[in-house]
Amino acid sequence: MRDPTVGERLDGFALTELLARSGMASIFKAVDVSTGRTVVLKVPHVQYESDVVFFERFRREDEEGQRLHHPNVVEVLPTPEKSRMYMVMEHVEGRSLRAMLGRQPLPTAQALDLARQICGALAYLHGEGVLHRDLKPENVLVTPAGQVKLIDFGIAVFASKRRMTWGALSNAMGTPDYMAPEQIRGRRGDPRTDVYAVGTILYEMLTAHLPYESANPRALLKAKVDEEPRPPSYHVPGFDPKLEALLLRAVARDPRDRYASAALLLHDLEHPESVQPLDPATGLGSRRGGRPSRRVVLPALAAAALAAVGALVWLSARHSPPADRSAPAARGR
């Protein structure tokens, strides 16, 4: 057995174009010869055919994908008879969000619309027990009409099937620029991990930059774990303070500081006027579903501790017995 090529047939599908090739699979545009429908085939490379773990994970991606139905999630189509391992999906006319991004920010209205659609899809997926875990501009397709389609659930975690998922091999799989700090630490993550990714994507759409930028992957990962993200206004002077508060909450390093769910982030994206800007003095803003950031809590605790120490010193001085006034005179003789 060998890898298929353009011009060949795979069962009832004629392969017409190679759309992409990764380390694990090739993506073909194809035609269902029985119906004439244009589809997309994801075909793993032949060396993975005998890999039991890969086979089970790929089968699960196919199986779980077929039960997901949402206007912003690519459809995985049932295929009864297969001569080898592959997956059939709907063909989406459009381009990736990556192809839309450049050196200039996208118009705010367009960026917010795309982010709302992504969040709507994530809210649905999380409700179905699915974590995407590799959300990035390359995995977001946009049709000419502006409709979003999320693709590639290759490292997704399916809560309904815990024995073996893509996460069984490595919890830290993902794309560094969009990985949440907890993924870098090797944790499987939860819905807030996907919130971090969509927050990073929206940040990029609105600023043409990322919250953390480094040509060195190791330095990038370390910064994401140890340092605070740059505020959008660092890149775009005069950036809307309400949107800045929203973005900084979405990409907070500590998951407890983030939006607790994609649904909560979606609410603020639909009503950005209701988001409270960060207070310059305290850093506090809208915190529905989250908690005050460590950037706020730790300085506040330090200030409280200093105040407490000062109070103790003052009380101690106030209630101390009077000093022996005769001692200095005795030493002076």
Q: How far apart are CA 65 and CA 113, in angstroms?
A: 25
Instruction: Count CA atoms within 13 Å of residue 239 on its CB side.
Output: 23
Q: Which of 36, 17, 38, 39 is nearest to 26 (CA)?
A: 17
The whole-angstrom distance between residue 128's C-alpha and the CA centroid of its chain comes to: 17
* Annotated catalytic residue within 11, 113, 134, 190: 134
Do residues 138 and 130 make contact, with C-beta atoms less than 8 angstroms apart? no
Through-space distance between the first and last CA atoms of the chain, rounded to whole angstroms: 108
One-letter amino acid at 116 equals R
Q: How far apart are CA 280 and CA 282, in angstroms?
A: 6
Strands 76-77 and 87-90: antiparallel
Helix H or strand E segment including 27: strand 25-32
> Is there a catalytic annotation at residue 190?
no
Q: How far apart are CA 3 and CA 108, in angstroms?
A: 44
| 31: phi then psi, degrees, rounded to nearest 5 | -125, 130
Cα-based distances in Å from 49 to 25, 37, 38, 45, 52: 11, 27, 25, 7, 8
Burial class (CB in 10 A: 0-12, 13-18, 19+), 156: buried
Strand locations in 156-283 (E): 157-158
Hey, which residues are catalytic here? 134
